[in-house]
Amino acid sequence: YTYEWYKGAEKLAGQTGSTLELSEISDSGTYKVKVTATDQAGLSALAESNQVTIAIGKAPGTGSVTIAGWTYG
């Protein structure tokens, strides 16, 4: 599989893994991933995720991540 991560409409250079790590408040935004699968015959298929909005908030000594109405941390 190959992965292409996007923040808004902008492709994130160098982000080609199956997971995307975010840690800065400036990382807050809307994200999606495009995944391409290629078989041994060279045939490929593309899947694109729905967009998800990520909000990252920090306070001294704590951290939290909010994903579409859910808060973790």
pLDDT confidence band for 73 (50 / 70 / 90): very low
30-35: Cβ within 8 A, 24+ apart = 30/54, 31/5, 31/6, 31/7, 32/5, 32/6, 33/3, 33/4, 33/5, 33/6, 34/3, 34/4, 34/6, 35/1, 35/2, 35/3, 35/4
Is the pLDDT score of 51 beyond 80?
yes
pLDDT confidence band for 69 (50 / 70 / 90): low
Q: For residue 40, what are its two tokens? A: 């041994």
Tokens 């951290």, located at residue: 63
pLDDT confidence band for 6 (50 / 70 / 90): very high
Q: What is the pTM of this model?
A: 0.73
